């Protein structure tokens, strides 16, 4: 696991977008060789999506041969509801790039059989050859996707009942009326994300500082599901200064001392060489 500390959320967004650009470019996707990318929603990745749109418009990247899998979706919200993740992904990212909609996969929270829909999603990921890069964000309680505190760290895609803290955090998107927030969601499991070749988790803001400290400085704990990625061989935590406020000073100094090596990860250094950089 690597921790990359950057100045602020805008720098995190730019670094993350350049990392995606570097990975897709080196992979060289084509009709018979698709790059498989796992994607999050929420406020944290918005800046990254906007930078990727910029790169696409500049002709630096194409998503024509990229297959995407989104992390989660609410149960019961229409696809065209402004707070559905179908709506978010289309309006914030997909409609601005050249991705084939048939290869942009988002869980169907209105499927007649939700368990079957989760199984179908896992099958699609497996048939695509697995996810090469899964990008995620976290909640203040350390959950990734909708893997709430107490979730199994080997869980697969499933129906999840949302914790009260999550409902409280998300009510701002529903007119501050907690009764309007869906009580359930479909989510990839921690194990689903752990299966990816690489994982990049974006963490910004002081309200995420405790979760980052738990994930980096303490042991693996199902009450802080993001901590599972301590055990992933190619996991990156990319954070801003505000998110480090609960970390020990020596932890921050240690990872900042590696910043020169981290910059090579968005340059022209081949991926195989990057994996031995520390």
Q: Looking at the annotation, which residues are catalytic?
A: 72, 141, 143, 148
> What sign does the CA torsion over 233, 238, 243, 249 have?
positive
Q: Which residue has the tokens 């309007």?
A: 180
**Beta strand pairing status for 72-74 and 184-187?**
antiparallel
Residue 214 CB contacts under 8 Å (≥ 6 apart), including other chains = 142, 221, 224, 226, 227
Distance CA 199, CA 186 (A): 20
262, 224 contact by CB (below 8 A):
no
Q: Which residue has the tokens 């299966």?
A: 195
Distance CA 5, CA 14 (A): 13
Distance CA 89, CA 194 (A): 23
Nearest to 144, CA basis, from 126, 123, 124, 166: 166
What token pair was written down for 67?
């297959």
> CB count, 10 Å around CB of 94?
20
Strand partners, 235: 199
């Amino acid at each position: 696991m690597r921790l990359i500390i950057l100045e602020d959320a805008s720098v995190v967004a730019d670094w993350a977008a350049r990392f995606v650009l570097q990975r897709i470019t080196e992979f060289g996707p084509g009709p018979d060789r698709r790059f498989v990318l796992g994607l999050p929603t929420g406020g944290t990745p918005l800046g990254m999506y906007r930078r990727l749109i910029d790169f696409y418009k500049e002709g630096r990247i194409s998503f024509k041969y990229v297959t995407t899998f989104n992390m989660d979706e609410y149960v019961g919200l229409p696809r065209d509801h402004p707070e559905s993740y179908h709506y978010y992904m289309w309006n914030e990212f997909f409609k601005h790039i050249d991705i084939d909609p048939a290869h942009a996969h988002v869980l169907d929270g209105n499927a007649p059989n939700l368990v079957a829909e989760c199984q179908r999603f896992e099958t699609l990921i497996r048939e695509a050859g697995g996810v090469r890069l899964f990008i995620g964000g976290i909640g203040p309680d350390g959950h990734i996707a909708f893997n709430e505190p107490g979730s199994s760290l080997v869980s697969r895609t499933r129906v999840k009942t949302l914790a009260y803290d999550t409902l409280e955090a998300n009510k701002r998107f529903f007119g501050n009326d907690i009764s309007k927030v869906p009580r359930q969601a479909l989510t990839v499991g921690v194990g689903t994300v752990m299966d990816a070749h690489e994982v990049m988790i974006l963490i910004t803001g002081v309200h995420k500082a405790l979760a980052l400290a738990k994930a980096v400085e303490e042991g693996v704990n199902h009450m802080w599901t993001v901590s599972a990625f301590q055990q992933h061989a190619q996991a990156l935590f990319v954070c801003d200064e505000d998110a480090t406020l609960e970390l020990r000073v020596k932890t921050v100094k240690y990872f900042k001392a590696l910043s020169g090596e981290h910059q090579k990860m968005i340059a022209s250094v081949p991926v195989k060489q990057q994996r031995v950089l520390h």
